[in-house]
Amino acid sequence: MLSLRTRGKNAIYYIRGTVSLGEKRIDVKEFSSGTRDADAASQLMAEYETRLRRQLMFGPAVLVAQGTIADAFDSYLSKAKRPCASDILRIGKLNERIGDMPLQKPKQAWEQFRRAYLVDHRPAGQDRYRSVFQAAVNSYRELHDLPPLRIKAIPFDNERVRFLTKEERDRLIASYAPHIQPVITMLAFHGPRIQTALQMSWGVKGVDMERETIRLTHTKNAVIQSVPMHPRVKEVLMAIWERRGRPMKEHVFLNRFGQPYKDSRLSPIPGGNPLKNQHKTACRRAGIEDFTIHDWRHHWASHCVMAGIDLITIMHMGGWKSLRMVQRYASVDTDHMRQSINRLD
């Protein structure tokens, strides 16, 4: 049974005790009712005891029935490893519109949000909202020993594969501003995401010139992979390393003002790509069309396939978490072989 007792000079009522049902029981640590009114405290205690008895009778699922979507977001954000700034922004939008809806019907809440807010968003953007919403709901369900919930993914075309010839690659790299060329060389020969490259530091946790390795921290998928340094990358980085006095820390790549690039992933409001304008200018100078700066990643993976590197190795080096994301490049090898066989007389 639960009981009341007053504490402190303000005589606030506190609740404590045990709630039992058959052989099951829940021990309630003492907590404040927040009131000095005996009737109000008794009412609160009775409601609390009823909720606990329902929990003992029906199991943890009753907690979900009593909770709201906002409770799931609170659970998700209180984890030791918080989501990235962009997802925190998305959670704010979700919470604003459906936070007060019951957790008992998460799929209905998601559909209401999608129809009301995501109509004009691209499918890939919609799916990012779906992903973070599902993660939050499952964080709450895991906390109460409930099986995970799956919300159907938003289908979108993620099959773009664009790559350059080796001649086009070298012409485009040479068309960038001198302080950007080393970054692009790394993108072309190692395929990291833009911010992964821009935030690299010298030393064993990043660019290790002594061991001639690069530690690629793929933050998006929480994958860390050390890879041998490509000779072209070693050549451009060695010049920078020597010029700066062989540092063992600090950023590798600096902007035109000699300052590290800001990490847009940490901004409360997601920023754009800091190299976007320079990339457009370089493409115009080199006469390259339909090639985004992210396409350097496609370029790298495609040339890995054409060089005979297997998809599993490409997946690990590129920081993809599943082979499915890399299989799009398999067709590149077929096209490459066709071009080769056509050269036979």
Whether residues 209 and 299 share a domain: the answer is yes
Find where tokens 């929990």 sit.
55
| pLDDT one-digit tens code per residue, 159-210 | 678 899 999 999 999 999 999 999 999 999 999 989 889 999 999 889 999 9
Q: Higher-confidence residue: 63 or 325?
A: 325
- pLDDT, residue 80, reads 59
In a domain, 158, yes or no: no
Domain edge (last residue) among 58, 75, 105: 58
The secondary structure of residue 301, as a DSSP letter, is H
pLDDT band at 133 (very low <50, low <70, confident <90, very high): very high
- pLDDT, residue 84, reads 74
Q: What is the mean pLDDT of residues 264-290?
A: 82
Whether residues 30 and 123 share a domain: the answer is no
In a domain, 178, yes or no: yes
Least confident among 198-202, 204-208, 224-228, 334-338: 334-338
In a domain, 157, yes or no: no
Alpha-carbon span 68 to 95, nearest angstrom:
10
Whether residues 132 and 23 share a domain: the answer is no
In a domain, 46, yes or no: yes
- pLDDT, residue 286, reads 97
Q: What is the domain count for the chain?
A: 3
Q: Which three-class secondary structure string do you get for 11-45?
A: CEEEEEEEEEECCEEEEEEEEECCCCCHHHHHHHH
Q: Residue 96's CB: how many other CB atoms inside 10 A?
A: 12
Structure tokens at 290: 């339909």
Whether residues 40 and 134 share a domain: the answer is no
Whether residues 137 and 170 share a domain: the answer is no
The edge-to-edge listing of strands for the beta sheet with 2-7 is 2-7, 12-21, 24-32
Q: Whole-number mean pLDDT of the chain?
A: 85
| pLDDT one-digit tens code per residue, 18-68 | 988 777 888 888 888 888 899 988 988 888 888 777 667 656 555 556 688
**Residue-number span of the structural domain to which 117 is assigned:** 67-143
The secondary structure of residue 215, as a DSSP letter, is E
Residue 91 gets the label, from left (phi > 0), alpha (psi -120 to 50) or beta, of alpha
Say if residue 235's pLDDT is above 90: yes
- pLDDT, residue 266, reads 65
pLDDT band at 105 (very low <50, low <70, confident <90, very high): confident
In a domain, 150, yes or no: no
Whether residues 245 and 277 share a domain: the answer is yes
Structure tokens at 258: 């000699």
Residue pair 41/81 in contact (Cβ under 8 Å)? The answer is no
In a domain, 160, yes or no: no
Q: Which of 37-51, 277-291, 319-333 has the highest mean pLDDT?
A: 277-291
Q: 3-class SS at 68?
A: strand
In a domain, 6, yes or no: yes
pLDDT band at 127 (very low <50, low <70, confident <90, very high): confident
Alpha-carbon span 233 to 208, nearest angstrom:
12
pLDDT band at 129 (very low <50, low <70, confident <90, very high): very high
Whether residues 242 and 125 share a domain: the answer is no
- pLDDT, residue 191, reads 92
Whether residues 314 and 220 share a domain: the answer is yes
Q: What's the chain's Rg over C-alpha atoms?
A: 28
Element (DSSP H or E) covering residue 223: strand 223-228
Whether residues 82 and 192 share a domain: the answer is no
Q: Residue 314's CB: how many other CB atoms inside 10 A?
A: 19
Whether residues 103 and 20 share a domain: the answer is no
pLDDT band at 224 (very low <50, low <70, confident <90, very high): low
Whether residues 20 and 73 share a domain: the answer is no
Least confident among 175-179, 290-294, 317-321, 329-333: 329-333
Percent of the chain residues topping a pLDDT of 70: 86
Whether residues 232 and 138 share a domain: the answer is no
Q: Higher-confidence residue: 92 or 155?
A: 92
Farthest-apart Cα atoms in the chain, separation? 100
In a domain, 45, yes or no: yes
Of 20, 37, 40, nearest to 28 by C-alpha is 20
Q: What is the CATH number of the domain that holds 332?
A: 1.10.443.10
Residue pair 19/53 in contact (Cβ under 8 Å)? The answer is yes
The edge-to-edge listing of strands for the beta sheet with 223-228 is 207-208, 213-218, 223-228
Alpha-carbon span 123 to 127, nearest angstrom:
6
- pLDDT, residue 60, reads 58
Give me the DSSP letters along 136-193.
HHHHHHHHTT------PPPP----------HHHHHHHHHHS-TTTHHHHHHHHHH---
